[in-house]
């Protein structure tokens, strides 16, 4: 089966490489705007599926993987900060709190039309951080393209007191445990 990752994220590509299966990548063109009042889990599930389906015409025989992630503090959804000021504001809001990451995963079999989706939650408990710690972190890591304004696979680990979730890969952006289960359901058993 032809496996396709519908993402340009280097982090997702590195995670998928862990599975040791050959795959191609595709850059999906999907409007990632949130609908008014849309819960974070619904948003990431919808976008993961949209990204996977967007690759369907280019790969009509593919098993296409789509994924999307947002963070939330309570009902407030945190996206990618985009700049230093927004990253500092997000980390200030997260200080001393638990941030929930919602990662949507979709495996779309373009040949059969089968679409499997799941939303994996992952909780990050932040230490209480002062403004100097936050500024130092942001200046060192520059996490402007990361939901929640940190890179857990990098220096971001210094910000946390605890992590809770089924699969640590979820926090980086691709729930591999869930993906392996979906791939097995499509006849691609690993290992």
In sequence order, what are the residues at sequence separation of 6 or more whose Cβ sits closer than 8 angstroms to the Cβ of residue 172?
11, 12, 15, 152, 153
Longest Cα separation, the chain? 53
Q: Which two tokens stand for residue 7?
A: 């993402």
> Is the Cα torsion angle 72, 141, 118, 35 positive or negative in sign?
positive
Rounded-to-integer distance, Cα 51 and Cα 6, Å: 6
Question: What band does 154 get if pLDDT is binned at 50, 70 and 90?
Answer: confident
Query: Which residues are catalytic, by number?
Result: 68
Share of the chain above pLDDT 90, in %: 87
**pLDDT per residue over 121-148, tens digit each?**
999 999 999 999 999 999 999 999 888 8
Q: Which two tokens stand for residue 1?
A: 């089966």
What pLDDT is recorded for position 73?
Answer: 93
Distances in Å between the Cα of 183 and the Cα atoms of 21, 81, 142, 186 are 11, 33, 34, 5
What does the pLDDT average to over 51-68? 96
Domains assigned to the chain: 2-185 (3.90.950.10)
**pLDDT per residue over 90-128, tens digit each?**
999 999 999 999 999 999 999 999 999 999 999 999 999
What pLDDT is recorded for position 110?
Answer: 98
Question: What band does 54 get if pLDDT is binned at 50, 70 and 90?
Answer: very high
What pLDDT is recorded for position 63?
Answer: 98
């Amino acid at each position: 089966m032809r496996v396709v990752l519908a993402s340009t994220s280097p982090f997702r590509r590195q995670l998928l490489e862990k599975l040791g299966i050959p795959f191609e990548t595709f850059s999906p063109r999907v409007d990632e705007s949130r609908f008014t009042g849309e819960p974070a889990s619904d948003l990431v599930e919808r976008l993961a599926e949209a990204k996977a389906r967007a690759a369907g015409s280019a790969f009509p025989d593919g098993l296409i993987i789509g994924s999307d992630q947002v963070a939330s503090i309570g009902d407030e959804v945190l996206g990618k900060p985009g700049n230093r000021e927004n990253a500092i504001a997000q980390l200030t809001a997260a200080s001393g709190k638990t941030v929930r990451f919602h990662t949507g995963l979709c495996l779309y079999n373009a040949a059969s039309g089968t679409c499997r989706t799941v939303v994996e939650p992952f909780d990050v408990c932040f230490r209480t951080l002062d403004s100097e710690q936050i500024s130092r972190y942001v200046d060192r890591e520059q996490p402007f393209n990361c939901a929640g304004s940190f890179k857990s696979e990098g220096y971001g680990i210094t910000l946390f007191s605890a992590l809770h979730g089924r699969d640590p890969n979820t926090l980086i952006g691709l729930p591999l445990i869930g993906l392996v289960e979906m791939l097995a359901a499509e006849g691609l058993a690993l290992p």
